């Protein structure tokens, strides 16, 4: 029989797994774009403009914010901080 899962830990595990999936997808797609650019398979106009830099940086910003939201600015910590502020303000009244 499976033991009851801690809902907070389960949510954190789900978020971390989601980030790892996002990271893997990012790496595969961005690597593919750079390979396509490097081989000249698409946009054979002769331009050597490194257009994959834009999706690399744009999506990279989204990936970094995803990482920060899960590993740096943890939702539970933010909620706990706000709760403590409310308790402190309530005790002053």
User: Where does residue 50 fall: left (phi above 0), alpha (psi -120 to 50 degrees), or beta otherwise?
Assistant: beta
Average pLDDT over residues 26-39: 94
Cα-based angle 45, 35, 25 (whole degrees, multiple of 5): 125
Show me where the domains of the chain are located: 7-92
pLDDT at 2: 63
State residue 14's pLDDT score: 92
pLDDT single digits (tens) 41-79? 776 666 688 999 999 999 999 999 999 999 988 777 777
Return the axis-axis angle of helices 53-67 and 7-39, rounded to nearest 10°. 170
CA separation for the pair 67, 21 (Å, rounded): 12
Q: What pLDDT was estimated at residue 93?
A: 67
pTM of structure = 0.75
15-29, 32-46, 59-73: least confident range: 32-46
């Amino acid at each position: 029989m499976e033991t009851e899962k801690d809902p907070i830990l389960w949510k954190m595990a789900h978020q971390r797994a989601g980030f790892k999936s996002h990271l893997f997808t990012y790496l595969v797609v961005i690597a593919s774009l750079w390979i396509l650019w490097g081989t000249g398979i698409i946009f054979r106009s002769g331009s050597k403009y490194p257009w994959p830099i834009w999706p690399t940086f744009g999506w990279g910003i989204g990936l970094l914010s995803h990482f920060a939201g899960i590993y740096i600015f943890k939702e539970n910590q933010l909620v706990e901080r706000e709760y403590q502020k409310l308790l402190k303000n309530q005790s002053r009244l």
